[in-house]
Amino acid sequence: MGWQRKILRVDLTKGTAASEPLNMEWANLYLGERGLATKYLWENMDPKVDPMAPDNVLIFATGPLTGTMASTSGRYAVVTKGPLTGAIACSNSGGKFGAELKFAGYDLLVIHGRSPKPVYLHILDDQVEFLPAGEIWGTSVWHTEEWLKAHQQNPLLKVAAIGVAGERGVRFACIINDLHRAAGRSGVGAVMGSKNLKAIAVHGTVGVKVNDPKRFMQVVKETKAKLWDNDGRRELTELGTNAMIDSMQEFGGLPTRNFQAVQFDGYDKINPEAMMEAKPNGHRNLITNKACFGCTIACGRIAHIDKDHFTIVNRKEYWHASGGLEYETAFAFGPMVGVDDIDALTFAGYMMNEQGMDPISFGGTLAAAMELYEMGVITEKETDGVPLNFGNAEALTIMAEKTGKYEGFGQTLGLGSQRMCEKYGHPELSMSVKGQEFAGYDSRALQGMGLGYATSNRGACHLKQDTYDQDMEDQTGNGKAQPCKKSQDRIAVIDSTGLCLFTAGGWGMEGFRKQIDAACEGEWTRERLLEIGERIWNLERQFNLAAGFTAKDDTLPERLLKVPAPSGTAKGRVNELDKMLPEYYKLRGWTAKGVPTKKTLHRLGLA
Amino acid sequence: MHKSLLIDPEKCTSCLQCEMACSFEHEGVFNPAKSRIKVFEFEHGRTAIPYTCTQCDEAWCMHACPVEAITINLATGAKEVDEDVCVGCKVCTIACPFGTINYNQDTGKVIKCDLCGGDPECAKACPTGAITYVDANWTGYDRMRESALRAHPSP
């Protein structure tokens, strides 16, 4: 147990929905969530298909520990081919939706085809319906959730939905669940939109069982206590993920004005202290912290915007509280675009959640547009009369709203930085890998992170490897390939459990192992789990190679490889990818061209 | 001496560990849909409030029950539903002014908080102390103490 041993397969073209047994052979080889969904994707579609075509398959996947009493058990993953990248997309989200899907009795929800008309999926345990979404098509995520609960007269529904951005194919549209949690990256929301699927509303009453309940409860009691005592946990609870902005500023790894700088003067106007501090008029940005399902960390921030701020002074509909700044939103709407107005940042965050967009990619794309504007490549003629200079808080908030609603210059921003920069003849200004924009870590200062960005199977991503400690200790590329590879495999396992990566510091692999071992049948050793991680990584790689990617795509923009960091502890350094990448390929058991050898595939059971 | 569940919404993060603990204790399964305690969220999560039966002394549910399926546990003060006696008429669910006793379609009986026989799992599972189990005579103690300090701050 742990698994429900059942999946729901939906074909939107045919209008059919049927449950089928979970392939337990695959579950034992890929665990759940990210890993298992990758296997199902691989077996169910041709990696060459256009991500926006009906043949792309969209998978919502829970893990064996999703919906259990293990701390942070609210995670689920959305796996599909990403329209931002053309690579495999794997977007992980929290909130309460994932656990609810599991409570309804399903490990995975596999969606094929395209509905002829907008629909939403209504799931009450084994009762599954497609219902017309005409009334909510063209409306926001927030309105959609409210409408669904009212329309179904069921306040217990948990909702994952897209906004206008997803409907209109914004390349970095995301899927929002529970109003402000996101399966954020690679444009998974645009895939949902291309399928004419507005929302999934689910209520489950089946519940989740584990294999050895007595041992599981004992283990969970220990892991929760251990997590509670962990300093990293304490910082996340008290300050949220935005605590990172202070360390990146100090270190000189805070990408600023499209990576033209690595430190930002206004960082202390948007850091956790600024969020907590009352302004002269008494307004305080932060209200409280908030947990996802089952989570004993509660790193989420609930904030509100100052009613006197220009963004909402005449817009009462935004006077309510909602999800506040996380580090990545603070970075992408702050230093990356040169803005230090905390209310403007918070408003832009509201726009992302309301219409379903990835703030990292939006910020990265806007930053590239600002650089194009300052170079004179684009003018106010293109930008609907809005001066797009760095530091313009009004431009940030206007463009966030326009992109979410797919209006004016927002349509161009909705292409993502790579397509937009190519359109204007400056592809070098897109700070991305495989078309996906960087998170808030400059890889001239964090070398291993650069290798992770270059090799991440979903394009630039800070969450698929963990070399922070090594990067902070030593700013060369020496010895980074090994920890990068190992952490990638480790995280692939964690992402497949149904639990949150933010517990890793408190638990180590042993914490995950013990919980899996008590919840699932069979014997779960550290070696077995790490092999699963490596298998997942290699299968994702196989998907990308089959989709047409080559070693040439495992690279970083010139700005990081040739232009030295202008300040900070890494002043004068560039990223040493050329040194790290061959070593990395070797450690992976791949050829010099980045292709897994037959021996490697055979060892992992992939050949 | 009876104890009471004391709920402090200020401390609740809406993690639902309480709902899982409750359903596991009573149903042997992690299943918030079958929890006797529910957490309600307001305004995009600005407020989260756990809510359950307060174990009224003159319990409306108990008095309304036509078959005397609801009885007082003298050790804990909890009003408990005897599933063998309950006929699923749901009159108690109408009588309860707080909505904290509810019908369970799977069993055809009603479910409500029974204080887990004097060791409530929800309080043990709560990571932030939003749910505690305290002397029933002094549920106001902490707030009283805070008020005292507010009225007479130390110099």
- Domain parsing of chain B, residue ranges: 1-52+118-155, 55-112
Q: What is the mean pLDDT of chain B?
A: 96
pLDDT per residue as tens digits for the range A486-540: 999 999 999 999 999 999 999 999 999 999 999 999 999 999 999 999 999 999 9
CA–CA dist A390, A375 (Å, integer): 11
Rounded to the nearest integer, the mean pLDDT of chain A is: 98
A207 in contact with B, Cβ within 8 Å: yes
How far B58 CA sits from the closest chain A CA (Å)? 30
pLDDT of residue A338: 98
Distance CA(A69)–CA(A75), nearest Å, equals 12
Element (H, E) at A167: helix A164-167
Q: What is the pLDDT of residues A148-195, one digit of tens each?
A: 999 999 999 999 999 999 999 999 999 999 999 999 999 999 999 999
Domains B1-52+118-155 and B55-112 share a fold: yes
* Among chain A residues, CA nearest to B105: A205
- Please tell me the predicted confidence (pLDDT) of residue B1: 85
pLDDT at B153 over 90: no
Interchain pair B31, A208: CB under 8 A: yes
Helix (H) or strand (E) holding A61: strand A58-62
| CATH architecture assigned to B1-52+118-155 | 2-Layer Sandwich (3.30)
**Region B55-112: CATH code:** 3.30.70.20
pLDDT at A1 over 90: no
Q: Is the pLDDT of residue B155 over 80?
A: no
Give the fold, CATH level 3, of A240-436: 1.10.569
Residue B154, pLDDT > 80, answer no
Domain ranges (residues) in chain A: 6-203, 240-436
pLDDT the model gives residue B24 = 98
Quick check: A210 and A219 in contact, CB under 8 A? Answer: no
Q: Chain A closest CA to B105's CA: distance in Å?
A: 10
Q: Is A288 on the interface with B (CB under 8 A)?
A: yes
Helix H or strand E encompassing A63:
none
- Picking from A291, A321, A322, the nearest residue to B15 by CB comes out as A291
Any chain A CB within 8 A of the CB of B24?
Answer: yes
3-class SS string, A330-388: HHHHCHHHCCCCHHHHHHHHHHHHHHCECHHHHHHHHHHHHHHHHHCCCCCCCCCCCCC
Measure B43 CA to nearest chain A CA, in Å: 6
* Candidates A68, A213, A302; nearest CB to B46: A302
Of A208, A287, A322, the CB nearest to B30: A208
Tally Cβ neighbours within 10 Å of residue A470. Answer: 19
CA distances, A86 to each of A83, A147, A450 (Å): 5, 33, 20
Give B3-33 pLDDT, tens digit per residue: 999 999 999 999 999 999 999 999 999 999 9
Answer whether A156 sits within 8 Å of B33, measured CB to CB: yes
* Dist CA A207 CA B22 (whole Å): 12
- The predicted complex's ipTM stands at 0.94
Query: Is A224–B28 a contact, with Cβ atoms under 8 angstroms apart?
Result: no
- Listed range (A187-191, A452-456, A472-476) with the worst mean pLDDT: A472-476
Percent of chain A with pLDDT over 70: 100
Q: Does A293 touch chain B (CB under 8 A)?
A: yes
Beta bridge mates, A432 = A437
- CATH for the stretch A6-203: 3.60.9.10
Reported as a single tens digit per residue, the pLDDT across A525-568 is 999 999 999 999 999 999 999 999 999 999 999 999 999 999 99
Judge whether A296 is closer than 8 Å to chain B, CB to CB: yes
Verify whether the Cβ–Cβ distance A320 to B46 is below 8 Å.
yes
Contact A291 B13 (CB under 8 A): yes
**Which chain B positions have a beta carbon within 8 Å of A298's beta carbon?**
13, 15, 128
The reply to whether A225 touches chain B by the CB within 8 Å rule is no
Q: What is the pLDDT of residues A234-281, one digit of tens each?
A: 999 999 999 999 999 999 999 999 999 999 999 999 999 999 999 999
Q: How far is A304 from chain B (nearest CA, A)?
A: 9
Strand locations in chain B (E)? 3-7, 38-42, 47-51, 70-72, 79-81, 102-104, 109-111, 131-135
Residues 348 to 387 of A: which have CB under 8 A from any B CB?
Answer: none
Judged by CB atoms closer than 8 Å, whether chains meet at A296 and B17 is answered as yes
For residues A40 and A49, the answer to whether their CB atoms sit within 8 Å is no
CB B17 to CB A69 under 8 A? yes
Residue A289 touches partner B, C-beta closer than 8 Å: yes
pLDDT at A523: 96
